[in-house]
Structure 1
Amino acid sequence: MTILVRTSDVPARERTELWRAAASEAYVPLEMRLDDADVFRGQIAGQVFGELRVGEVTADAHQAHRPSRLIGKYDDLPPHYKLSMPVRGYCLVQQDGREASLTPGDLAIYDTSRPYTVVFEDTCQMLTLMFPRRNLHLPAEQLERVTASRVSGRHSVGALLGPLLLNLVSRMDEIDAAQALRLADNVVDMVTTVFAGQLGEDSTRRRPPGHRSLVLRAKSFIEAHLEDTDLTPGTVAAAMHISTGYLHKLFRRENTTVSRWIRERRLEHCRRDLRDPDQSDLAVSSVAAHWGFIDAAHFSRLFKAAYGLPPREYRIVSEGGPDIHLSATGGP
């Protein structure tokens, strides 16, 4: 990764402001409090893979706080999620009335559209991921239940994600543009899996027995048949041998609908294909049709509503690949 800021390059009296300005520029507007500015050492490095921003922060004791007064006022980013994992040392993540105490390998997620605080109690090296909230295939109102909650890096899927992040960071220079985009999607998919598991554990008492397994079966069937233009709630229900009404009820408990889930998953696959350099020769209409969108104009409207740009413009913007930008990398 490219080093974006190093406090040792400036006199001690300038370090607090340099750290605040650099972290805010690299991430989102933040307030900073350094425990001892005279001896504080900090460094931010980062790189961008499509919409995934990978950062590495190494710093002495300090606090980074995102107060409500800074949210949306000085930055024009859509809501993003941030994932933090200490590699060396310890840190705290605070949001939504919770506090996660993280040791090396542990994970916590937080939402940049709400206040949060990250505390380095001593010198700490931390890996960070930042990506648009829409890219995580979980309802925001559900994920809000597990923000600033510790995910162990020693058990279950959490033990798989940590090594993946470490390998990604260590081998960035070996990854070409096409590979980088696919890896970015895979990483976000893995993050989705980790926190879907957290939500499953958190919500076991809230749902009737068998609810989760039925929803997962339905989503698996949908994922396998997204290219089928005849895919409807009715065909999903028939394949599962349940009534369409009951299928709708299951998805309402997930705070979504069957049709919305199908549409969002199709749009996500289109987005990935439009960013893929190996598919740059395919017409946008062909990409859309492949994933079940027959009406090109309707697809364009849906895509713009979901991702902020029409599909053709999105492809053009994405053609730059995983370039490094100060304004789009992870920070504290």
Structure 2
Amino acid sequence: MLNETVFRSEDVPAADRLSYWAEHLEQAHAPLHLSSEHAHDFRATQRVWDLGAVSVWSATIQQLVTRRTPKLIRQSDPEMYHVSLVVGGTGIGSWGDNEVVYRPSDLVINDTSLPWEIRRGRTTVTSVGVEVPKALLPLPRAMAGRPVPRRMPSRDGIGALLAQFLTQLSADTTPYQPSDGPRLGTVLTDLVAALCAHALETGNTLPTETHQRTLVLRIKRFIQEHLHVPRLTPADIAAAHHISTSYLHRLFQNEEVTVAAWIRLQRLDAARRDLTDPALRSTPIHAIAARWGFPRAADFSRAFRTAYGTPPKDYRCQARGSLQSTGS
């Protein structure tokens, strides 16, 4: 069996558990700032296996906000990559202007040399992970110093290999001797290096501004493809792109309108085009409205008049008259 150490917040009085956990993380990982809704009686458990220079752990943690600030980085930086597999629960990670939502089966990649914040959800989060010194990762020289993606899938490719290795190792270490630890650590180091190199080679990392603009364009395309869904909400859009609703709204701060307003404008414009389409002259206005996400005819009529200055019925008649005049 591999050498194992178990840490439990319940080993100290309830009032001391959050500070005890912060001390444990500082010694085992890096200095962090912690806050929790359960600070009065914080519950967390972590099992750690020593694999030489590499360590593997599994943890179950209550709602917790973990911050790695520039000040803490200046105080101490072990220069480690931290890769964890989310087994249960959700969380939100933030790095500067970038944010991503984590869900079960996602791989989370962290860097002790960069400031970040992880906000675990209100339910208990379970994860298994590995910490590898950066100096051990045999990444190509051209990739050194480039930021790796913060969220990666684990359902196929190298991500699946790493996830399977971590899951099986944490589930049962009895087949291994302590002397196997460094050898297993070498395997994990190679897998983490391969995962990072693959992500960088395939162009999954972009400058912040480019990433945000690309994300906005993807979101707009998604909205246009789902305009027919009556209850398409910002929360739905955010979930489909693995970001929080607040981050979605921040992305649209540089746009001319809010997310909700952009959805409405796209729906109205699609309906306007249908109203002027000769092929749809026999289609009732309420049917066109419903097709583009307006199930209530009165709501559609009011919104259309506000946007175009005339009711949809009059707009259709005017468009029909213009076509007839052009035809003559």
TM range, normalised to the smaller chain? 0.5 to 0.7
Q: Which amino acid aligns with 1:5?
A: F
Q: Matched residues in 1 for 2:46 and 2:206: separation?
A: 42
| Structure 1 residue 14, shift from structure 2 partner | 1.4
Residue identity matched to 2:87: V
CA drift at 1:204: 10
Pair 78,16 (structure 1): closer, same or farther in 2 beyond 3 Å: closer
When residues 119 and 2 of structure 1 are mapped into structure 2, their CA distance, relative to the original with a 3 A threshold, is farther
Task: Quickly say closer, same or farther: Cα 1:141–1:28, change in 2 above 3 A.
Answer: farther
Q: State the Cα distance separating 1:56 from its structure 2 match.
A: 1.6
Contact 2:199/2:205, CA 8 A, preserved across alignment = no
- Partner deviation per Cα, 1:79-121 (whole Å, 9 max, x = no partner): 1111121112122333354333222221122211221222211
Per the TM alignment, residue 125 of structure 1 is displaced from its structure 2 partner at its CA by: 0.9
Task: Please say if residues 7 and 15 of structure 1, whose CA atoms lie closer than 8 Å, have aligned partners that are also in contact.
Answer: yes
The SS at the match of 1:71 is helix
Q: What CA distance in whole angstroms lies between the structure 1 residues aligned with 2:68 and 2:141?
A: 19
Q: Tell me which residue corresponds to 2:195.
A: 194
SS at match of 2:156: coil
User: How far did residue 130 of structure 1 move?
Assistant: 0.8
Q: 1:10 to 1:151 in 2, by over 3 A?
A: same
- Mapping of 1:84-233 within 5 angstroms? 84-95=84-95, 97-121=97-121, 122-138=123-139, 142=143, 145-202=146-203
2:59 paired residue among 57, 81, 88: 57
- Return closer, same or farther for 1:181/1:10 CA change in 2, 3 Å cut-off: closer
Q: Distance in 2 between matches of 1:119 and 1:204?
A: 22
* AA in 2 matched with 1:124: V
Greater Cα radius of gyration, structure 1 or 2: 2
CA distance in 1, matches of 2:38, 2:152: 30
Which stretch of the first structure deviates more once superposed, 57-66 or 164-173?
164-173
| Structure 1: distance between partners of 2:19 and 2:7 | 12
Residue 169 of structure 2 aligns to a residue in which SS? helix
Counterpart amino acid of residue 138 in structure 1: L
| Runs of at least 5 residues in structure 2 that lack an aligned partner in the other structure | 208-328
Sort the Cα spacing of 1:53 and 1:7 in 2 relative to 1 into closer, same or farther, 3 A: same
1:243-262 aligned at under 5 Å gives the runs: none
Contact in 2 for aligned 1:98/1:149 (Cα 8 Å): no
The letter for the 1-side match of 2:62 is D
Structure-2 change in CA distance of 1:123 and 1:141 (3 Å): farther
Which residue number in structure 1 is paired with residue 72 of structure 2? 70
2: CA distance between counterparts of 1:202 and 1:69? 31
Deviation by residue 1:127-180 (Cα, 9 ceiling, x = unmatched): 121111011122588466544521111122212211111111123233124432
What is the TM-score with the length of structure 2 in the denominator? Answer: 0.56
Summarize deviations over 1:40-90 as a string: whole Å, max 9, x none. Answer: 3111221210111112221110111111111242x4x64111112111212
Q: Name the CA shift for 1:100/1:111 in 2 (closer, same or farther; >3 Å).
A: same
- 2:141 and 2:52 map into 1 onto residues whose CA distance is 22
Deviations 1:220-243 (A, max 9, x none): xxxxxxxxxxxxxxxxxxxxxxxx
Which deviates more from structure 2 when the two are superposed, residues 180-189 or residues 131-140? 131-140
> Conserved in 1, the CA contact under 8 Å of 2:148 and 2:196?
no
Identity %: 26
Q: What pairs with 1:11-90 in structure 2 (closer than 5 Å)?
A: 11-73=13-75, 75=76, 78-90=78-90
Residues 164-199 of structure 1 deviation map (CA, whole Å, 9 limit, x = unaligned): 111111232331244322221111111111221111
Residues in 1 aligned to 2:142 and 2:65: alpha-carbon distance in whole angstroms: 27
Q: Secondary structure at the match of 2:153?
A: coil
Q: TM-score, normalised by structure 1?
A: 0.55
| 1:9 positional shift | 2.7
Judged with a 3 Å threshold, the aligned counterparts in structure 2 of structure 1 residues 140 and 21 are, in CA distance, closer, same or farther, namely farther
Q: RMSD of the alignment, in Å? A: 2.6
- Higher relative contact order, structure no. (Cα contacts within 8 Å, ≥ 6 residues apart): 1
The amino acid that maps onto 1:111 is D
CA distance in 1, matches of 2:180, 2:114: 33
- Cα distance between partner residues in 1 of 2:73 and 2:36: 21
**1:84–1:129 contact (8 Å) kept in structure 2:** yes
Distance 1:165 1:15, change over 3 A: same
Supply the distance in 2 between the matched residues of 1:205 and 1:21 (Cα, whole angstroms).
Answer: 35
Give the whole-Å Cα distance in 1 for the aligned partners of 2:206 and 2:91: 31
Contact 1:89 / 1:125 at 8 angstroms: preserved in 2?
yes
